[in-house]
Chain A
Amino acid sequence: MRTTLQELLASADGLPVIADGGMGTMLFNSGLANGESPELWNVNNPDKVAVIHRGYIEAGAQIVLTNTFGCNRYRLQLHKLEDRAAELNKAAAQIVVREAEAADHPVVVAGDIGPSGGILLPLGELAYENAVDAFEEQARALVEGGVDVLWVETMSDLNEVRAAVEGCRRAAPDFPVVATMTFDTHGHTMMGVSPEKALEGLLEMDLVALGGNCGNGTAEIEGVIRKMRAQNQDVVLVAKSNAGMPRLEGGRAVYDATPANLAQYALNVRELGANIIGACCGSTPEHIRAMNVALRNSVPTA
């Protein structure tokens, strides 16, 4: 069944909301080849994509992200799919919507918006307005496909987040938007943004929730949440940690955090003040299941 993010947060009753885990690594487990477009699977292999969403839902995920991380025209260019941005985003949304509707608990469909892959002028070559256009195109299609919230993630540059949020606002003026950044470089984003600076900037964007995702593992995300919560006691915080770090096994990247490790991280990060807790690269429904069980079975000390 469907619900909105606001409803989910309002009815949470002190418990954290469970978000889903990583998609890219799950797609590899399902046979996605090196260099193949993950987003094309929304049209060419929708059943395999649906199965992954279903796995997360059955593991307890209440927020499920669309398979659209690289689904903006700039990233799609790599696969010569830039003209199909709208089509692929919409198809991706429809897959999650179907799974959410069939779920036995309320699920929020989140439209995943990842980075453009470029760096904004003047440091890089991407004009701000062009970035906004690309994000608007993506957001519009996701909304048309039926998402409940737009979910900007894995960002390193505050200005790019601004461009993404602006694109979302142009596509759907009063639509809820969430944004998380990746603090994988000495406790900052790659572009040098600290969690504190990120919070400051993100608070100006009228978001429903904000926080950190991806990166180098659970300790890093725990640090991000701790710092953000110290600065602001009210904002809804999101934590979506990687399942540890990758190592190569049999030609594939395998992540070293077990479901038990992530269950502990879920408890830690809840303690530190995260309201929405999920995982990112390397996680599987098993990880989310363990996190869900741990969070539901423990009594918060605060």
Chain B
Amino acid sequence: MADNRPPSLEDLTTEELLEIMMDDLYDGLAEEIVAEVHDCLRRGMSAYETMTQGLVAGMDIVGQDFGAGILFVPEVLMAAKAMKAGMEVLRPLLTETGAPKLGKAIIGTVKGDIHDIGKNLVGMMWEGAGIEVINLGINTDADAFINALEEQQADILGMSALLTTTMPYMKVVIDELKARGLRDKYIVLVGGAPLNSAFAEEIEADAYCQDASVAVDTAKKYLAMRREEAS
């Protein structure tokens, strides 16, 4: 029977499905993404493949367009919600199948600051890249950061600040790491609108990440450097 309904997911090739997923993620269509994730799994794709090819690929483009000023926070939040919905389906399966983990990161917004969009986005993208992320939330003090790093035996400390009045606190955290002889143990990445590389250098962070995509590339780079050093 001829009709004008869009094809149901089962009728699509996997390539077509993944393309639609990219569009739906970009457009922030959470319900559609969940259905599409289920269909990927139904087809025998692994949770890891579904995540990287179905979700992360789309999120990467969102990240790029956000960096280029084509998308703004509302669109990014919608896309992030769609990704989160997809990840909720995949996460339990990922742990089950022992999907490759690149490393572990602690992220938080510094003490005195409540802004978290950027940080949450980075957290999501890092997760998508295979980094285990523990998100400490907002208003995080040095003790909380360092205790988490140590307890979790993390690789990366990610700090975010949106206010010029709170960004100096990042130095407080780094100085505390130094005081405890822990600075070299961790990769320290910082981000937030008022920050820049000069600031990151000044406070002796490892790098400044201007947006979530850069944060993913930077984290991967530093983790790779670590693996090389260790071998």
Contact = CB atoms under 8 A, between A and B. Distances in A.
Interface of A: 24-25, 28, 32, 34-36, 38, 75, 78, 117, 119, 123-124, 156, 184-192, 245-248, 251-253, 281-282
Nearest to B72: A192
B115 A117 contact: yes
Contacts of B78: 123
Contact of B196 (A28, A36, A78, A247): A247
* Best-surrounded residue of B73, B111, B203 (most CB of chain A within 10 A): B73
Given A123-B77, A253-B164, 14 more contacts: A24-B165, A34-B165, A38-B165, A119-B77, A123-B78, A185-B69, A190-B72, A191-B73, A191-B74, A192-B71, A192-B72, A247-B198, A248-B198, A248-B203
A232 B74 CA distance: 27
**Binding site of A, secondary structure by majority: helix, strand, loop or mixed?**
loop
Indicate the member of A156, A185, A188, A192 with the most B CB atoms within 10 Å: A192
Contacts of B193: 184
Contacts of B72: 185, 188-192
**Chain B interface helix/strand/loop/mixed:** loop
Contact of B164 (A25, A184, A190): A25
A76 to B, nearest CB: 11
B192 to A, nearest CB: 11
A191 B78 CA distance: 12
Given A185-B69, A248-B202, A281 B77 contact: no
Contacts of A35: 111-112, 141, 166, 169
Given A247-B196, A253-B165, A34 B111 contact: yes
A5 B81 CA distance: 44
A249 to B, nearest CB: 8
A253 B168 CA distance: 7
